[in-house]
Structure 1
Amino acid sequence: MAKITYIEYGGAVHTVDVPTGQTVMEGARDNGIPGIEADCGGACACSTCHVYVDLAWVEKLPPKDSMEEDMLDFAYDSDPNRSRLTCQIKVSDALDGLIVHMPEKQI
């Protein structure tokens, strides 16, 4: 279980416990956190679960694979260093304290 903090574009903060093995996207969906739409349900076939990873966490996450890189090309205001798709980030104990920021909108 890891405590993940989701920060909405407007500044609202949601900190929830997400079970190990789930994705950061599933944690948002299962806890009703707005700002992560996840239209494809986690198949890495859209960019509607896009977030900006907090700077303190960027280097601690596994690298993006080529499919995630391709989908991020479609994300709103993607940042080459901080943008990630939450469906591609598996939760583990090592992610306890992860902070992600939602973009202004999802496309």
Structure 2
Amino acid sequence: MPKVTYIEHNGTQHEVSVESGLSIMEGAVQNGVPGIDADCGGACACATCHVYVKEEWIDKLSEQSDSEKDMLDFAFETKSNSRLSCQLILEDKHDGIVVNLPEKQG
């Protein structure tokens, strides 16, 4: 079961174990991590689960779909490492992944 560290904009860290096959967004919602609103429930239809993935993890994740790229246009302060956490499905190889949360969501 991969461990995910969510770092809020204010620096508060939440390290949680998330079942493989779930998304980083689902892990946050199920564990009460603040800062990921997930208004659409993971349908890639909003940008309220926007995260910044630590650079060393970018190449270990699936590539962005066109839908995800389009939705990120609606996210607040995107960067080159911006992703929608609903599109990041965890596998055991992602154990230790770190994501930072933006100051605000969409």
Q: TM-score, normalised by structure 2?
A: 0.98
Matches within 5 A, 1:53-68: 53-68=53-68
> Given residue 48 of structure 2, which amino acid in structure 1 is its aligned partner?
T
CA distance in 2, matches of 1:46, 1:2: 25
- The answer for the alignment partner of 2:13 in structure 1 is 13
Helix, strand or coil for the counterpart of 2:71? helix
Query: What is the alpha-carbon root mean square deviation over aligned residues?
Result: 0.6
**Corresponding residue pairs, total:** 106
Q: By how many angstroms is 1:22 displaced? A: 0.6
Q: Which runs of 5+ in 2 are unaligned?
A: none
CA distance in 2, matches of 1:98, 1:55: 10
Q: TM-score, normalised by structure 1?
A: 0.97
- The answer for the alignment partner of 2:102 in structure 1 is 103
Matched, 1:87 2:86: yes
Helix, strand or coil for the counterpart of 1:25? helix
**CA deviations over 1:25-52 (Å, ceiling 9, x no partner):** 0000000000000000000000000000
Name the % identity.
55
CA distance in 1, matches of 2:8, 2:40: 21
CA distance in 1, matches of 2:28, 2:97: 13
Q: By how many angstroms is 1:62 displaced? A: 1.2
Would you identify which runs of 4 or more consecutive aligned residues in structure 1 move more than 3 Å?
none
Q: By how many angstroms is 1:100 displaced? A: 0.2
